[in-house]
Structure 1
Amino acid sequence: MDEQGSEEIRYVTSRDGTALAYRATGVGSAPEAEAGSGPPVVMVDGALGVGTAPMAASLGVPLRPDFTVVDYDRRGRGRSGDTPPYAVAREVEDLAALIDAVGGRAHLCGFSSGGALALEAADALPHRVVGLALYEPPFVLDADRPPLPDDFAARVREAVAAGRRDEAVTLFLTEALLVPPEAVPSIREPAEPPTVEGADGPVPVPTWREMEEIAHTLAYDAEILDGRVSGRPLPSGSWPHVTAPTLALAGGESEPSAHTAARAVAEAIPGARYRVLEGQGHRPAPRALAPLLRDFFGGPER
């Protein structure tokens, strides 16, 4: 695939011509570095996440001494392009192009719906994906929480097409994240700019305006999750071609459905492991997560 250079943000062209923005930092991240001098770990962000933005990018900061951490903007987000029509297979091709750009083989670390995408990629690209870590893929597999409505993606598309991006974000918060409707105004217009714990201190949470800008991609994430958010067990034979060592994680403070999903993924993939990251919720602190990932991916000697 074509690759273009810039000082910090680089670009790679996916199979359908979509330009994808990414940043490679840490061991072996310089353009002239030999492939493999720092094992690449591609961070795959979830719904409404922009990989090169501070909140998402902070997750990989503690891994930089041992790995080449690759943060990228999924199609339709941030600096990346977007070529219709959408298909999950196009996002898998995006990851194939990105992995090729950083040496041809990489670990994937997916968060929330990004974990579901990472699973699809590992299944389709078994020779490129050498390690797979998944933090709380948001599958709904039992009655622990309400299923995602069947028409969620259609209503998101309808709202976006009509220029009601505010409505699309609200749908996601109330129906996917189960935020009480009465709490939405305080998220839209917080009293103070909210932050979360980053690797080197607080980092800003995306603003409502920033979420609106990429609200159309909420339908993309719904397609990735399709068939696994209905309250029924995982379909038999899910991801039969995954060969990479796999670690499925859930936070100790997260809701039961997160643990059900992580355990089910571990049970579906031969040799996979399930672990609980104590004291963490759906968005883990970078320095709490890093030791598990460093141990699992093995560092430069793996």
Structure 2
Amino acid sequence: MTEFVSTTRGDRVAYDAHGEGPALVFVAGAGPFRAEDPVTTETARLAGENGVTAVVFDRLGRGETETGGDADLDAELGALSALLEHVGGSAVLCGHSSGCSIALRAAAAGLPVDGLVLWEAPVSAPAAETAEWASDFERQVEDGDLEAATETYMRDMPPEWLAGAKASPAWPDIAASARSKVADAQSLAWATAVLEDGSLADDVKVPVVAVYGTETFPGMPEAAERIADALPGATVAEVPGSGHSWEPEAMADVLVKFVRTATGSYEHPTGGV
């Protein structure tokens, strides 16, 4: 059954919680929400059966989450802050794709994050290139040209993804969701910049594992290594999965073990957004 928590800005965030124990919050990447993401829901259910409170939420402007303002990175961190407070005060974050950069930013901003599991973070591109892409995307969103913005967002994804999206009867809805991807673009621009200049470790002090699938896209293993190289103590793991997604049982096992270790050995910082 859907539950809700309100942010200090007044956004109403929809989420499902599975199980009891130390908290794990899934941070989706560009586009997914609970009703269209059975893989994450099944992973959360499995984790919840093994001593974890696993939380799956609809990001701002998606699914059942209501927002009256911009779905930018600050607002997205506000949603995470409200969830973390609501589920016990701190949690491990599991980011998926661009959700990894949002999770990293949350930890760097001082939210009470116990650790990070980062699945296939798309952070292998040069910072200048990513910043230009993010700027182009945000400008198109601000101009209301949401189809062009969606094409820009998907520019470096497998071309068949964009072709399939444009051929789908859901294309108008897909394009309309571009506004909910602003936080993704902003966080990716930030993440590639701090990875490149070496400053990520100044603010991210929590345990981190960067994960990629056994059948993945070029650049994903390299991106995981880039994160691990930037953060002392961070590790890299390969987990069964393909098509930019994981196999629920295998990922749930990794997550439960990581949550137990991270919450048992790490005292989270105070503060937040």
TM band (smaller chain):
0.7 to 0.9
Q: 1:141 to 1:131 in 2, by over 3 A?
A: same
Name the counterpart of 1:177.
Answer: 157
Number of aligned residue pairs: give it: 262
**Contact residue 134 and residue 189 of structure 2 kept, 8 A:** no
Q: Deviations over 1:191-239 (max 9, x none)?
A: xx9xxxxxxxxxxxxx545423412122331111115558x96221115
Q: Deviations over 1:142-200 (max 9, x none)?
A: 69xx95471444345526744x5333333333x131415xx74444446xx9xxxxxxx
Structure 1 stretch displaced more, 78-87 or 260-269: 78-87
Distance 1:9 1:100 in 2: 18
Name the counterpart of 1:197.
Answer: none
Cα RMSD over matched residues? Answer: 3.1
- Give the letter for the 1:218 counterpart: K
Normalized per residue, the structure richer in helix is 2
Larger gyration radius, structure 1 or structure 2: 1
Q: 1:170 to 1:58 in 2, by over 3 A?
A: farther
Name the counterpart of 1:105.
Answer: 90
Give runs of aligned pairs for residues 88-237 of structure 1, distance below 5 A: 88-125=73-110, 128-141=112-125, 147-148=129-130, 150-155=132-137, 157-158=139-140, 161-162=143-144, 164-173=145-154, 175-179=155-159, 184-189=162-167, 207-228=170-191, 234-237=196-199
**Contact residue 157 and residue 216 of structure 1 kept, 8 A:** no
Q: TM-score, normalised by structure 2?
A: 0.82
Q: 1:243 to 1:184 in 2, by over 3 A?
A: closer
3-state SS in 1 of match to 2:236: strand
Higher RCO (CA < 8 A, seq sep 6+)? 2
**Contact residue 50 and residue 73 of structure 1 kept, 8 A:** yes
Q: 1:159 to 1:125 in 2, by over 3 A?
A: closer
**Contact residue 42 and residue 70 of structure 1 kept, 8 A:** yes
- Give the letter for the 1:179 counterpart: P
Q: How big is the shift at 1:83?
A: 4.1
Q: How big is the shift at 1:284?
A: 1.4
Q: How big is the shift at 1:301?
A: 8.7
- Give the letter for the 1:170 counterpart: E
Distance 1:242 1:118 in 2: 10
The percent identity for this pair of structures is: 28
Instruction: Give the unaligned 5+ runs of structure 1.
Output: 1-7, 29-37, 194-206
1:18 to 3, 11, 27: 11
**Contact residue 60 and residue 71 of structure 2 kept, 8 A:** no
Instruction: Give the unaligned 5+ runs of structure 2.
Output: 265-273
Distance 1:285 1:176 in 2: 24
